[in-house]
Amino acid sequence: MPDTIPFTFRAFAEDEPGPRWQAFFAESWPWYRSWFLREGDAARPSYQTGRRMLVRHMPELVGLYDQLVELAGGGDTAARMLAMYRPPPYLSGCSQGAWTGADPVLVRNYDYAPSRLEGVTLATAWGGRRVIGMSDCLWGLLDGMNDAGLAVSLTFGGRTVLGDGFGIPLVVRYLLQTCTTVEEARAAVVRLPFHLAHNLTFLDASGDAVTVHVSPDRAPWFCDVPVATNHQQEVEWEAHARFTRTVEREQAVAAALADPAMTSTAFEQLFLQEPLFSTAYSRGFGTLYTASYRPSARTVTYRWPGAVWAHSFDRFQEGTHTQPLVEVVAA
């Protein structure tokens, strides 16, 4: 019999940071504190450094950051973690691509260990900008879309280099809070420092799309083919590439986008099949959810084999969805 891991996803809306986010923080903080300090307190930057870097590179988020720190109790460790400047490194799988035909859609698979996923979809209007996305690091995002129709998603870039920069979930939050088009997001990315190598795919309401490879040690590289898996221009980490099948997954998405008969619905379904859909949950590389962002309709739909959970800015469904994650072990 296959092993089944029940996982409960949650969704809540709170226009401005308040008691619901505060309760979310209190529930999650013990795990995040352990993660943040796993290499020792001295390995992480000071509060002064983190906030100074936010002021320098993401000034539009500083007021929001201060609000969240206050709601988190004002403690030094929490404030340092929430700044997301030089956080502990974290690796994941993930595949994503943007189909730009009629009714464009950004589709992504998030592949990771179930124990490390918050599984919380947040609908916020922080600073007046409405955003829906999958939360990570308490106010960052793994993927999301704003009310202007800009959608952004991330994957790990398959490089082990580390640098002085921000964790990528906060970058996704920043882009969705401050940009409305792919052109604006491209301009923002080139001036931000990154802690780790990641790939970002953008899609906006006009159908404009791009993927950008970012790293701490080199300038962003833009690719007009909006596909990303877990390497950048070439494979550098061979063992990780073989385990995650990053090349095979990239080829599958690229082939679909090049197919003139492809439809948006068929493109979504592709992500629920091999080689894109993975069931290696016990090895930290199972597909936890498939997200489809449609900027024209301003909708996000989470998919699993046999299940759908849909949200929009007009009709956001607060509550829970429990999904059995089924690990199929090869004979």
Confidence tier at 3 by pLDDT (50, 70, 90): confident
Angle, in degrees to the nearest 10, between helices 47-57 and 76-83: 30
Q: What is the pLDDT of residue 76?
A: 98
Average pLDDT, the chain: 96
CATH class entry, domain 3-15+89-327: alpha beta
List, in order, residues 6 or more apart from 184 with CB less than 8 Å away.
Answer: 150, 178
Token pair of 242, please?
A: 């073989």
Q: Residue 331 CB: number of other CB atoms within 10 A?
A: 3
- How far, in Å, are 130, 227, 228, 229, 272 from residue 275 at the CA level? 34, 15, 14, 12, 9
Question: Residues 71-95: pLDDT tens digits?
Answer: 999 999 999 999 999 999 988 889 9
Confidence tier at 331 by pLDDT (50, 70, 90): very low
Question: Residues 117-139: pLDDT tens digits?
Answer: 999 999 999 999 999 999 999 99
Q: What is the pLDDT of residue 330?
A: 57
Average pLDDT over residues 260-270: 97
Nearest 10 degrees: CA dihedral of 218, 219, 225, 229? 40
Q: How far apart are CA 17 and CA 65, in angstroms?
A: 10
Confidence tier at 284 by pLDDT (50, 70, 90): confident
Please state whether beta strands 3-13 and 319-327 pair in parallel, antiparallel, or not at all (unpaired). antiparallel
**How much is the pTM?**
0.97
Each domain of the chain, given as residue ranges in start order, spans 3-15+89-327
Q: What is the pLDDT of residue 1?
A: 47
